[in-house]
Amino acid sequence: MSFSWPWALLSLLVVPLILAVREWARRRRRRAAVRVTSIALVRSALPGRTRWTRKIPTALFLAGLALLGVGAARPQASVPVPQTSVTILLALDTSGSMCSTDVDPNRLTAARKAAAEFIESQRGGPRIGLVTFAGSAGLLVPPTDDTDALVKALDGLTVSRGTAIGQAVLTSIDAIAEVDPSVAPTGADPNPVSGTGYAGAAIIVLTDGANTQGVDPKVAAREAALRRVRVFPIGFGTTVPAPMVCENSQFDGQGFGRWGGSGGRGGFDRGRSPRTIDEPALKQMAQATGGSYHRAENAGQLQNALDALPGSFTVVQQRVDTSAAFAGGGGVLVAVALSVSLWWNRPRTPAR
């Protein structure tokens, strides 16, 4: 908790001041005590309450004053608030290693299914865009809230040579800039904003390898960080050697499929060890932008990682003024204290 007017907390000094005055008055009354000869007369004059009960109005009154003093300082609390406008760019690796069958039926098919389920789960929520990357990166679907169009676009994914992770991040930044004026496109002055807040946009990079060409991921991460856009990389796949088999429809038709066989399925480099994920680079990218890195070795873990991510950027911490709650609570306590005191000290009808 923080305070907009911390100097107003000095008003809390009135509480110990009242206690000091009350103690001074009590001691003065003790010195001026009147001696009486009838104990029965004294007992009949005292109210029928214990010593601690008589202190309740005073305690309530002082607690109310304390709350009013805190409220005067304009306290602010950090609370989670859902963002009303969020843009998510989902960058999918379509390099040849995505044909590895260490994830059934292969990495590309599992990633496509997980991405489709993720997009469906966000229906009616943030805008989502799709970027695919192999040797280069391209915008498959601009950020949109058309869930059906996004899911349909996933059916046409094909693999190709190379892995351009850095270029995928830059392409995602440019796609975000098209719909979010607060995010500058690459090549333009990012005009970084001071503070710890992030832009209402995030990039999810799903890859099974390491950057082999194009822009260095460190450079891309620095560009994203300057624009306050967080990157959440997901390393997908295992290090277990497995046949690399893709459907014929998953080849790009530009010569990459010459390793494939005929018929319904194509295969290449059978038994080859899949490329090891460059986890240090992906973790560094996440750390530099304020995101987080996730590891997924099977379809279930990939789905869990995707499902958990929106909570990291669709809900933000916002400072809310809570002075009204303190002032209201303090006012209620003061009113109750005065009411109880007046009730207990009301004139009583002498018993007959």
Q: Which of 142, 145, 224 is nearest to 183 (CA)?
A: 224
DSSP codes joined into one string, 301-324: HHHHHHHHTHHHHSEEEEEEE-HH
Query: For 46-98, how does the pLDDT look when each residue is reduced to its tens digit (9 = 90+)?
Result: 555 556 666 777 787 778 777 777 777 777 776 655 555 689 999 999 999 99
- Rounded Cα–Cα distance for residues 85 and 73 (Å): 32
Work out whether strand 201-207 and strand 230-236 pair parallel, antiparallel, or are unpaired.
parallel
If you count DSSP H runs as helices and E runs as strands, how many of each does the chain have, helices first? 11, 11
Q: Which of 134, 103, 101, 130 is nearest to 118 (CA)?
A: 130
Mean pLDDT in order along the chain per 10 residues (352 residues): 70 76 72 55 54 72 77 71 75 94 93 95 91 96 95 93 95 95 89 64 94 95 94 93 78 50 41 69 95 94 90 63 78 79 66 51
Q: Which residue has the tokens 């620095």?
A: 222
Q: Model pTM greater than 0.85?
A: no
- Contacts within 8 Å (CB) and 24+ apart, 114-120: 114/299, 114/302, 114/303, 114/306, 115/90, 115/154, 115/206, 115/306, 116/151, 116/154, 117/303, 117/306, 118/90, 118/303, 118/306, 118/307, 119/90, 119/147, 119/150, 119/151, 119/154, 120/147, 120/151
Which tokens belong to 130? 């799709």
Q: Which of 141, 128, 115 is nearest to 87 (CA)?
A: 128
Work out whether strand 87-93 and strand 127-133 pair parallel, antiparallel, or are unpaired.
parallel
**What's the pLDDT at 106?**
93
Question: Going from the N-terminus, what domains does the chain have, and what CATH number goes with each?
Answer: 2-79+320-344 (no CATH), 84-313 (3.40.50.410)
Q: Which residue has the tokens 């929520």?
A: 125
Phi, psi at residue 2, to the nearest 5°? -125, 170
Which tokens belong to 97? 């290693």
